[in-house]
Amino acid sequence: MEKFKFSLLVLFGACSYGILSTIFKLGFRDGFSAFELLGGQYVFGWIGLLLLVLLFSRHKMSTKQVLLLLAVGTTMSMTSIFYAISVEELPASIAVVLLFQFTWIGVTIEAIANRTFPSREKIMSIIILFAGTLLAGGVFEGFGQNFSTKGIIFGLLAAVSFSFYIFVSGRVATNVPPYTKSFLMTTSATFIVCLFFPPTFLINGALQAGLWKYALFLGFFGVVVPVICFSIGVPKVGTGLGTILGAAELPIAIIASITLVHEAVSPLQWLGIVCILLGIFAPQFLSARKDKKRNIELSG
Protein backbone atom coordinates (compact mmCIF):
# COMPACT_ATOMS: atom_id res chain seq x y z
CA MET A 1 0.00 0.00 0.00
CA GLU A 2 2.86 2.33 0.84
CA LYS A 3 4.50 1.68 -2.56
CA PHE A 4 1.18 2.30 -4.31
CA LYS A 5 0.91 5.72 -2.60
CA PHE A 6 4.37 6.76 -3.83
CA SER A 7 3.57 5.35 -7.29
CA LEU A 8 0.56 7.68 -7.44
CA LEU A 9 2.83 10.59 -6.50
CA VAL A 10 5.22 9.83 -9.39
CA LEU A 11 2.21 9.38 -11.68
CA PHE A 12 0.90 12.81 -10.62
CA GLY A 13 4.29 14.36 -11.40
CA ALA A 14 4.30 12.77 -14.87
CA CYS A 15 0.74 14.00 -15.53
CA SER A 16 1.89 17.49 -14.53
CA TYR A 17 4.63 17.33 -17.19
CA GLY A 18 1.98 16.27 -19.71
CA ILE A 19 0.16 19.59 -19.48
CA LEU A 20 3.25 21.58 -20.56
CA SER A 21 3.07 21.06 -24.34
CA THR A 22 -0.47 22.47 -24.45
CA ILE A 23 0.53 25.52 -22.39
CA PHE A 24 3.44 26.05 -24.80
CA LYS A 25 1.05 25.86 -27.77
CA LEU A 26 -1.24 28.45 -26.18
CA GLY A 27 1.81 30.66 -25.56
CA PHE A 28 2.87 30.33 -29.20
CA ARG A 29 -0.60 31.50 -30.25
CA ASP A 30 -0.07 34.66 -28.22
CA GLY A 31 3.22 35.32 -30.01
CA PHE A 32 5.77 34.17 -27.42
CA SER A 33 8.81 32.14 -28.48
CA ALA A 34 9.78 28.70 -27.19
CA PHE A 35 12.85 30.17 -25.49
CA GLU A 36 10.83 32.87 -23.70
CA LEU A 37 8.38 30.26 -22.44
CA LEU A 38 11.14 27.83 -21.42
CA GLY A 39 13.05 30.59 -19.63
CA GLY A 40 9.88 31.75 -17.89
CA GLN A 41 9.13 28.17 -16.82
CA TYR A 42 12.45 27.75 -15.03
CA VAL A 43 12.72 31.27 -13.56
CA PHE A 44 9.18 31.20 -12.12
CA GLY A 45 9.59 27.58 -10.99
CA TRP A 46 12.84 28.47 -9.21
CA ILE A 47 11.16 31.41 -7.45
CA GLY A 48 8.28 29.13 -6.36
CA LEU A 49 10.65 26.55 -4.88
CA LEU A 50 12.71 29.29 -3.20
CA LEU A 51 9.56 30.51 -1.41
CA LEU A 52 8.72 26.94 -0.32
CA VAL A 53 12.24 26.44 1.06
CA LEU A 54 12.19 29.74 2.95
CA LEU A 55 8.79 29.00 4.45
CA PHE A 56 8.95 25.26 5.18
CA SER A 57 12.37 23.68 4.72
CA ARG A 58 15.53 25.21 6.12
CA HIS A 59 17.86 22.23 6.22
CA LYS A 60 21.62 22.06 6.76
CA MET A 61 23.51 19.98 4.21
CA SER A 62 27.08 18.97 3.51
CA THR A 63 28.99 20.56 0.63
CA LYS A 64 29.04 17.17 -1.10
CA GLN A 65 25.23 16.91 -1.01
CA VAL A 66 24.83 20.44 -2.38
CA LEU A 67 27.25 19.78 -5.27
CA LEU A 68 25.61 16.44 -6.09
CA LEU A 69 22.14 17.99 -6.25
CA LEU A 70 23.40 20.87 -8.38
CA ALA A 71 24.91 18.28 -10.74
CA VAL A 72 21.59 16.40 -10.92
CA GLY A 73 19.88 19.64 -11.94
CA THR A 74 21.95 19.78 -15.12
CA THR A 75 20.10 16.69 -16.41
CA MET A 76 16.79 18.56 -15.98
CA SER A 77 17.91 21.54 -18.02
CA MET A 78 19.65 19.48 -20.72
CA THR A 79 16.46 17.48 -21.24
CA SER A 80 14.53 20.70 -21.88
CA ILE A 81 17.21 22.16 -24.17
CA PHE A 82 17.71 18.97 -26.20
CA TYR A 83 13.96 18.53 -26.58
CA ALA A 84 13.47 22.16 -27.65
CA ILE A 85 16.06 21.68 -30.42
CA SER A 86 14.43 18.39 -31.47
CA VAL A 87 10.99 20.02 -31.70
CA GLU A 88 12.46 22.77 -33.88
CA GLU A 89 13.87 20.18 -36.31
CA LEU A 90 11.10 17.54 -36.32
CA PRO A 91 7.30 17.26 -36.23
CA ALA A 92 6.18 17.39 -32.59
CA SER A 93 4.77 13.84 -32.78
CA ILE A 94 8.14 12.40 -33.81
CA ALA A 95 10.06 14.47 -31.23
CA VAL A 96 7.82 13.24 -28.40
CA VAL A 97 8.21 9.60 -29.50
CA LEU A 98 12.01 10.01 -29.39
CA LEU A 99 11.81 11.59 -25.92
CA PHE A 100 9.67 8.70 -24.71
CA GLN A 101 12.44 6.22 -25.33
CA PHE A 102 13.37 7.17 -21.75
CA THR A 103 11.02 4.37 -20.61
CA TRP A 104 13.23 1.49 -21.74
CA ILE A 105 16.46 3.47 -21.28
CA GLY A 106 15.57 4.09 -17.62
CA VAL A 107 14.81 0.41 -16.98
CA THR A 108 18.13 -0.51 -18.68
CA ILE A 109 20.08 1.96 -16.52
CA GLU A 110 18.48 0.53 -13.37
CA ALA A 111 19.28 -3.04 -14.47
CA ILE A 112 22.94 -2.15 -15.10
CA ALA A 113 23.26 -0.24 -11.80
CA ASN A 114 21.64 -3.02 -9.77
CA ARG A 115 23.26 -5.83 -11.83
CA THR A 116 19.90 -7.54 -12.08
CA PHE A 117 17.78 -8.45 -15.09
CA PRO A 118 14.49 -6.49 -15.32
CA SER A 119 11.45 -8.39 -14.06
CA ARG A 120 9.04 -10.02 -16.50
CA GLU A 121 6.40 -7.42 -15.55
CA LYS A 122 8.72 -4.51 -16.43
CA ILE A 123 9.76 -6.05 -19.77
CA MET A 124 6.13 -6.65 -20.71
CA SER A 125 5.28 -3.09 -19.69
CA ILE A 126 8.10 -1.62 -21.79
CA ILE A 127 6.98 -3.54 -24.89
CA ILE A 128 3.38 -2.30 -24.47
CA LEU A 129 4.59 1.27 -23.80
CA PHE A 130 6.86 1.24 -26.86
CA ALA A 131 3.99 0.15 -29.13
CA GLY A 132 1.63 2.65 -27.50
CA THR A 133 4.11 5.51 -27.88
CA LEU A 134 4.54 4.83 -31.61
CA LEU A 135 0.76 4.76 -32.09
CA ALA A 136 -0.01 7.79 -29.88
CA GLY A 137 2.77 9.82 -31.50
CA GLY A 138 1.28 9.22 -34.95
CA VAL A 139 4.50 7.69 -36.29
CA PHE A 140 2.68 5.22 -38.55
CA GLU A 141 0.79 8.09 -40.12
CA GLY A 142 4.06 9.87 -40.92
CA PHE A 143 5.80 7.18 -42.95
CA GLY A 144 7.53 8.38 -46.11
CA GLN A 145 8.76 11.65 -44.62
CA ASN A 146 12.42 12.59 -44.47
CA PHE A 147 13.38 13.49 -40.92
CA SER A 148 16.27 15.68 -39.76
CA THR A 149 19.22 13.67 -38.44
CA LYS A 150 20.03 16.51 -36.07
CA GLY A 151 16.48 16.42 -34.70
CA ILE A 152 16.60 12.65 -34.16
CA ILE A 153 19.96 12.86 -32.35
CA PHE A 154 18.77 15.62 -30.01
CA GLY A 155 15.48 13.83 -29.39
CA LEU A 156 17.36 10.71 -28.28
CA LEU A 157 19.74 12.84 -26.19
CA ALA A 158 16.68 14.29 -24.43
CA ALA A 159 15.51 10.74 -23.68
CA VAL A 160 18.90 9.74 -22.25
CA SER A 161 19.11 12.93 -20.19
CA PHE A 162 15.60 12.48 -18.76
CA SER A 163 16.39 8.83 -17.91
CA PHE A 164 19.44 9.91 -15.94
CA TYR A 165 17.41 12.64 -14.21
CA ILE A 166 14.90 10.08 -12.92
CA PHE A 167 17.70 7.67 -12.00
CA VAL A 168 19.86 10.09 -10.02
CA SER A 169 16.96 11.96 -8.42
CA GLY A 170 15.95 8.66 -6.86
CA ARG A 171 19.43 7.91 -5.51
CA VAL A 172 21.15 11.19 -4.62
CA ALA A 173 20.66 12.86 -1.21
CA THR A 174 17.51 10.87 -0.42
CA ASN A 175 17.62 12.06 3.20
CA VAL A 176 17.36 15.74 2.20
CA PRO A 177 13.83 17.24 2.52
CA PRO A 178 12.09 17.30 -0.90
CA TYR A 179 11.65 21.11 -1.03
CA THR A 180 15.37 21.72 -0.41
CA LYS A 181 16.40 18.94 -2.76
CA SER A 182 14.10 20.20 -5.52
CA PHE A 183 15.27 23.80 -5.06
CA LEU A 184 18.96 22.93 -5.43
CA MET A 185 18.35 20.79 -8.52
CA THR A 186 16.26 23.56 -10.08
CA THR A 187 18.91 26.19 -9.25
CA SER A 188 21.54 24.66 -11.53
CA ALA A 189 18.90 23.79 -14.15
CA THR A 190 17.67 27.41 -14.25
CA PHE A 191 21.24 28.73 -14.47
CA ILE A 192 22.02 26.52 -17.49
CA VAL A 193 18.75 27.35 -19.30
CA CYS A 194 19.40 31.08 -18.77
CA LEU A 195 22.98 30.59 -19.99
CA PHE A 196 21.77 29.06 -23.28
CA PHE A 197 18.73 31.33 -23.61
CA PRO A 198 19.36 34.66 -21.82
CA PRO A 199 16.18 35.79 -19.98
CA THR A 200 15.70 38.98 -21.96
CA PHE A 201 11.94 38.63 -21.31
CA LEU A 202 12.61 40.07 -17.85
CA ILE A 203 13.44 43.48 -19.33
CA ASN A 204 11.95 43.61 -22.86
CA GLY A 205 8.30 43.94 -21.82
CA ALA A 206 7.27 40.35 -22.67
CA LEU A 207 6.24 39.64 -19.06
CA GLN A 208 3.91 42.63 -18.95
CA ALA A 209 2.54 41.65 -22.39
CA GLY A 210 1.19 38.41 -20.93
CA LEU A 211 4.15 36.04 -20.69
CA TRP A 212 3.83 36.10 -16.89
CA LYS A 213 0.64 33.99 -16.87
CA TYR A 214 2.20 31.28 -19.06
CA ALA A 215 5.42 31.35 -17.04
CA LEU A 216 3.39 30.99 -13.84
CA PHE A 217 1.59 27.86 -15.06
CA LEU A 218 4.72 26.41 -16.67
CA GLY A 219 6.75 27.02 -13.53
CA PHE A 220 4.12 25.34 -11.37
CA PHE A 221 3.32 22.33 -13.58
CA GLY A 222 6.76 22.01 -15.20
CA VAL A 223 9.06 22.56 -12.21
CA VAL A 224 7.48 22.81 -8.75
CA VAL A 225 4.98 19.91 -8.87
CA PRO A 226 6.90 17.27 -10.89
CA VAL A 227 10.31 17.89 -9.29
CA ILE A 228 8.87 17.58 -5.77
CA CYS A 229 6.78 14.52 -6.73
CA PHE A 230 9.77 12.79 -8.32
CA SER A 231 12.03 13.72 -5.39
CA ILE A 232 9.63 12.07 -2.94
CA GLY A 233 8.31 9.19 -5.03
CA VAL A 234 11.17 7.83 -7.16
CA PRO A 235 13.43 6.83 -4.21
CA LYS A 236 10.51 4.76 -2.87
CA VAL A 237 9.37 3.04 -6.08
CA GLY A 238 12.73 2.67 -7.86
CA THR A 239 14.03 4.02 -11.17
CA GLY A 240 12.53 1.29 -13.36
CA LEU A 241 8.97 1.71 -12.14
CA GLY A 242 9.51 5.49 -11.97
CA THR A 243 10.27 5.66 -15.71
CA ILE A 244 7.30 3.43 -16.53
CA LEU A 245 4.98 5.70 -14.52
CA GLY A 246 6.58 8.69 -16.26
CA ALA A 247 5.02 7.49 -19.53
CA ALA A 248 1.70 8.93 -18.30
CA GLU A 249 2.96 12.26 -19.63
CA LEU A 250 2.11 11.41 -23.26
CA PRO A 251 -1.60 10.49 -22.93
CA ILE A 252 -2.14 13.51 -20.66
CA ALA A 253 -0.43 15.72 -23.27
CA ILE A 254 -2.76 14.42 -25.99
CA ILE A 255 -5.90 14.73 -23.83
CA ALA A 256 -4.91 18.27 -22.81
CA SER A 257 -4.35 19.26 -26.46
CA ILE A 258 -7.82 17.93 -27.34
CA THR A 259 -9.46 19.76 -24.44
CA LEU A 260 -7.66 23.12 -24.59
CA VAL A 261 -6.34 23.45 -28.16
CA HIS A 262 -9.06 21.34 -29.86
CA GLU A 263 -6.58 19.24 -31.83
CA ALA A 264 -7.84 16.23 -33.78
CA VAL A 265 -6.72 12.79 -32.63
CA SER A 266 -6.85 9.74 -34.91
CA PRO A 267 -8.20 6.30 -33.90
CA LEU A 268 -4.62 4.96 -33.96
CA GLN A 269 -3.56 7.62 -31.46
CA TRP A 270 -6.47 6.69 -29.16
CA LEU A 271 -5.34 3.07 -29.39
CA GLY A 272 -1.85 4.22 -28.44
CA ILE A 273 -3.19 6.04 -25.37
CA VAL A 274 -4.97 2.86 -24.25
CA CYS A 275 -1.75 0.85 -24.77
CA ILE A 276 0.27 3.35 -22.70
CA LEU A 277 -2.25 3.22 -19.85
CA LEU A 278 -2.15 -0.59 -19.96
CA GLY A 279 1.65 -0.49 -19.93
CA ILE A 280 1.65 1.77 -16.86
CA PHE A 281 -0.90 -0.11 -14.77
CA ALA A 282 -0.20 -3.72 -15.83
CA PRO A 283 3.00 -4.10 -13.74
CA GLN A 284 1.26 -2.51 -10.74
CA PHE A 285 -1.61 -4.99 -10.99
CA LEU A 286 0.62 -8.03 -11.58
CA SER A 287 2.97 -7.04 -8.75
CA ALA A 288 0.03 -6.57 -6.34
CA ARG A 289 -1.42 -9.95 -7.36
CA LYS A 290 1.95 -11.64 -6.86
CA ASP A 291 2.33 -10.06 -3.38
CA LYS A 292 -1.19 -11.17 -2.44
CA LYS A 293 -0.48 -14.72 -3.56
CA ARG A 294 2.79 -14.76 -1.62
CA ASN A 295 1.05 -13.51 1.54
CA ILE A 296 -1.63 -16.20 1.22
CA GLU A 297 1.06 -18.89 0.87
CA LEU A 298 2.94 -17.57 3.90
CA SER A 299 -0.18 -17.38 6.05
CA GLY A 300 -1.23 -20.85 4.91
Residue 95: is its pLDDT beyond 80? Answer: no
The pLDDT, as a whole number, for residue 114 is 83
* Burial per residue of 224-262, b for 16 or more beta-carbon CB atoms within 10 angstroms, e otherwise: bbbbbbbbbbbbbbbbbbbbbbbbbbbbbbbbbbeeeee
Interatomic CA distance for residues 171 and 164, integer angstroms: 11
Split at pLDDT 50, 70, 90, the class of 146 is low
H or E stretch covering 236: helix 225-237
Amino acid letter, 147 = F
Prediction pTM value: 0.82
Average pLDDT over residues 215-228: 92
Residue 284: is its pLDDT beyond 90? Answer: no
Interatomic CA distance for residues 140 and 158, integer angstroms: 22
- Among 14, 50, 69, 54, CA closest to 188: 69
Domain count, the chain: 1
Average pLDDT over residues 115-123: 82
Residue 299: is its pLDDT beyond 60? Answer: yes
Q: Which domain holds residue 120?
A: 2-299
